Structure 1
Amino acid sequence: MQIDPFEIAIPDQDIDDLRFRIRATRWAPATSSPAWQQGADPAWLRELATYWAGHFDWRAAEHRLNQLPQFLADVNGQTVHFAHRRAASVAPGFKAYPLVITHGWPGSFFELHALLDHLCDPAAFGADPADAFDVVAPSLPGFAFSPAPAQAGMSSFQVADLWVSLMRRLGYERFGAQGGDLGAGVSIALAARHPRAVDGIHLNFLPSSYEPAIGAARQPLTPAEQDYLREKNDWFALEGGYAHLHSTKPLTVAASLNDSPIGLAAWISEKFRAWSDCGGEVESVFSKDDLLTNISLYWFTQCIGPAMQMYWENRLQPIRFSNAQRIDTPLGFAVFPKEINHPPRSWLERTFNVVQWSEMQGGGHFAAMEKPALLAAEIRKFFRPLRGASR
């Protein structure tokens, strides 16, 4: 497997073209409705566009991104972009624990940057240096600098196979996995398909396609589980239009979003507001620079279409388990209050060996960006007793 160092270097002409397109936007007529009620607020979006075209410094963002050691690897015929940040210097004889963290949509490897600081150098934040990790943070196939798969069928399960091959090539025969959103699905698939390689998985989100064993051989639904399923269905009825489009007509949506930077910004930024613990004020949690760094990654790499393709593949290969199937790999789960779903512990225990369950005090869907210190503390706590397995 060939692995080459990688640095981001967007051509000047692409930056100029982006600014031209923003300034040439044909704005949609605004409807008379409360701000954000029907989607991205037009007034806020115009403000973001003005900043993007006139004040946002992509070169500064690019420099910040390039502080992470990045690489490209040919993994079983699929090019994978990944960041590989090793633990800060520690005591002689200490071996950092390997951890693969997988992002989701509408995020990217960028959303993990603050979390990696806490995980790789815990001493800098007053935590035990013995809890340091070597972190591998790949870009999902079709996201950012990982090109789209050459063939169909790249669901969470196939991505899990790629991650195992990548980690072994990096010298990690056993490791831990963490993820939210699509990354949670990949982490579950790692535990299901590669239990001899994965010591444990930590999640801060449960994929909507997860379906445990339910039937004559298992207990009937509890009242809490019934409430959860009803609330999940109600949420999808009002908020799940994006996922239905991604999983059924991704090419139709991509034709628009890949051509319009403002359309792309609306599609992504509305989710950062709706799914985060921001109280309706998105910039109280995410700066314009952070929002636009992530959006610009989607724009410059033209990955919005390939990224949506994974929804299509996951619809065809959902995370469902038979009555006889049980995943013994230890699982930890962090419940953030503004996450888009809140499964009861019993729902996961139908299939998984849940050894850590934590109700968090703040944060939402983008926990790695919103509450990196809280999430890092949970990850350290979960993997502390598992560290010996990788040695």
Structure 2
Amino acid sequence: MTTPEQQAGDVIRPYTVQIPKDAIDDLQRRLAATRWPTREIVGDRTQGVQLATMRALHQFWATQYDGRRVAARLNALLQFTTRIDGVGIHFVHVRSAHPDALPLIMTHGWPGSVIEMLDAVGPLTDPTAHGGTPADAFHLVLPSLPGYGFSGEPAETGWDLARTARAWSELMRRLGYHRYVAQGGDVGAGVTDAMGRIGPDGLAGIHTNLLVPALNDPASLPHETDAERAALAAITTFQTSGNGYFVEMATRPQTIGYALLDSPAALAAWMIDHDTDAYYKITRAFVDDQPSGNLTREHILDNITTYWLTGTGASAARSYWEAYGPDAPAAGSRPLPPPRIPVGFSTFPGEIWRTPRSWAEKSYPTLNYFGEAERGGHFAAWEEPELFAAQLRAAFRPLR
């Protein structure tokens, strides 16, 4: 198996995930050796991940989950690696059978990976099998962020959102895509937003499902209507009582990294303690075996197991220090200008805050699509891949 770090130049090499049996055995040993805290003394998640949720997740992981699923799911698709700006980048590349398909680079976030996007591959590349038409087809590029999954980890500082955005434009150039669009959520929304602001040659439009400018400066957005005030209140709640993971990774990623690399239970708890909507959906999946859409026990553990087997808990955490921390290389630099290309945005009801159309219009003067999905939350592509794909088809249809 060729690792990303072994490559040089513009070479793009096929990649196959291979997980040694020893790695699966070690995971099982560590799960068996888990030390548990006492039960929380409140009746909800206000003290963190609840013991009953973790016990149920742990039991399924240790006794019913097949650790070989990660390799099987990824190896069912074409994967490649290439070295860009000193870092080996892993990506899934699925070309549609429809020759006029629109190239789309789609970026995951944290605590996600390319795993969360796999069930959207079919609806996006083969729309005729999923209620669409040949004119809705995309050629799909799914890169793993630097330091995440099967991509290499940066050995130097400076990999902020803009640097990743420039790396993605170089990746699309190497693939021969001279006109393409980009999409992202969570950290991926930050990368996609930066791509739109940088405006590399060939980028025809962007779409996100997290309003990055609102997270950066919510007070600058309108707050006159009930919807606007509700959104502002939700962001305020998140920033004061729900973003402990964000603060820790943006300021002390190495510290939490020791736990994330040493204990699979700690890694799982850290990853599922993201936002209230997703947390309770994950809890229902494991405790009650009631998945929300595509957010099944197996799919949740596919993502967590990817982080464990690749040992990327610490390096993924460092990406928050790079992008959002007080010592980030980009801190204090002149902000990028607003995008001059078309911008699409979709809001999902379970998101950390429900973005009003007025906020999207204020943030992006070139907004040309605003969609409101019926279901789904922060991990929209993962939870509701069909609805997510429908939003992207509608957003990018005018750009074809």
Instruction: Tell me which amino acid in the other structure corresponds to 1:151.
Output: E
Task: Say if 1:119 and 1:166 are closer, same or farther in 2 by CA, change over 3 A.
Answer: same
* Residues 247-286 of structure 1: pairs in structure 2 closer than 5 A: 247-271=250-274, 274-275=277-278, 278=281, 281-282=284-285, 283-285=290-292, 286=295
Maintained 8 Å contact 2:345/2:360? no
- Secondary structure of 2:318's aligned partner: helix
Which segments of 5 or more consecutive residues in structure 1 lack a partner in the other structure? 215-219
- Counterpart-to-counterpart distance in 2, 1:321 and 1:204: 25
1:206 partnered with 2:211: yes
Task: Say if 1:13 and 1:237 are closer, same or farther in 2 by CA, change over 3 A.
Answer: same
In the other structure, the counterpart of 1:348 is 360
In the other structure, the counterpart of 1:235 is 238
Cα distance, 1:126 vs structure 2:
2.5
In the other structure, the counterpart of 2:113 is 108
- Secondary structure of 1:333's aligned partner: strand
The RMSD of aligned alpha carbons is 2.4
- Counterpart-to-counterpart distance in 2, 1:253 and 1:295: 16
Instruction: Tell me which amino acid in the other structure corresponds to 1:296.
Output: T
- Counterpart-to-counterpart distance in 2, 1:99 and 1:338: 25
In the other structure, the counterpart of 1:217 is none
- Secondary structure of 1:258's aligned partner: helix
- Counterpart-to-counterpart distance in 1, 2:13 and 2:65: 30
In the other structure, the counterpart of 2:382 is 369
- Counterpart-to-counterpart distance in 2, 1:321 and 1:228: 27
- Counterpart-to-counterpart distance in 2, 1:382 and 1:63: 32
- Secondary structure of 1:95's aligned partner: coil
In the other structure, the counterpart of 2:100 is 95
- Counterpart-to-counterpart distance in 2, 1:375 and 1:26: 39
* Residues 307-386 of structure 1: pairs in structure 2 closer than 5 A: 307-315=316-324, 316=328, 317=330, 325-352=337-364, 353-386=366-399
So what's the TM-score if we normalise by structure 1?
0.90
- Map Cα deviations across residues 76-115 of structure 1 (whole Å, 9 max, x no partner): 322100000110x23xxx4211000000001100000111
Task: Say if 1:319 and 1:384 are closer, same or farther in 2 by CA, change over 3 A.
Answer: farther
Task: Say if 1:149 and 1:234 are closer, same or farther in 2 by CA, change over 3 A.
Answer: same
- Secondary structure of 2:274's aligned partner: helix
- Counterpart-to-counterpart distance in 2, 1:350 and 1:213: 12
Cα distance, 1:233 vs structure 2:
1.8
In the other structure, the counterpart of 1:24 is 33
- Counterpart-to-counterpart distance in 2, 1:303 and 1:318: 24
Bigger shift: 268-277 or 25-34?
268-277
Cα distance, 1:277 vs structure 2:
8.0
In the other structure, the counterpart of 1:43 is 52
Identical positions, percent:
39
Count residues in correspondence. 377
- Counterpart-to-counterpart distance in 2, 1:233 and 1:102: 26
- Counterpart-to-counterpart distance in 1, 2:177 and 2:368: 24
- Map Cα deviations across residues 183-221 of structure 1 (whole Å, 9 max, x no partner): 00111111111253211111111235444996xxxxx84
- Counterpart-to-counterpart distance in 2, 1:360 and 1:255: 39
- Of 184, 190, 193 in structure 1, the residue corresponding to residue 189 of structure 2 is 184
- Counterpart-to-counterpart distance in 2, 1:274 and 1:222: 23
Instruction: Tell me which amino acid in the other structure corresponds to 1:268.
Output: M
Cα distance, 1:273 vs structure 2:
6.3
So what's the TM-score if we normalise by structure 2?
0.88
- Map Cα deviations across residues 3-28 of structure 1 (whole Å, 9 max, x no partner): 11111111111110010000011111
In the other structure, the counterpart of 2:202 is 197
In the other structure, the counterpart of 1:128 is 133
Bigger shift: 200-209 or 131-140?
200-209
Which segments of 5 or more consecutive residues in structure 2 lack a partner in the other structure? 1-9
Maintained 8 Å contact 1:273/1:280? no
Task: Say if 1:281 and 1:273 are closer, same or farther in 2 by CA, change over 3 A.
Answer: farther
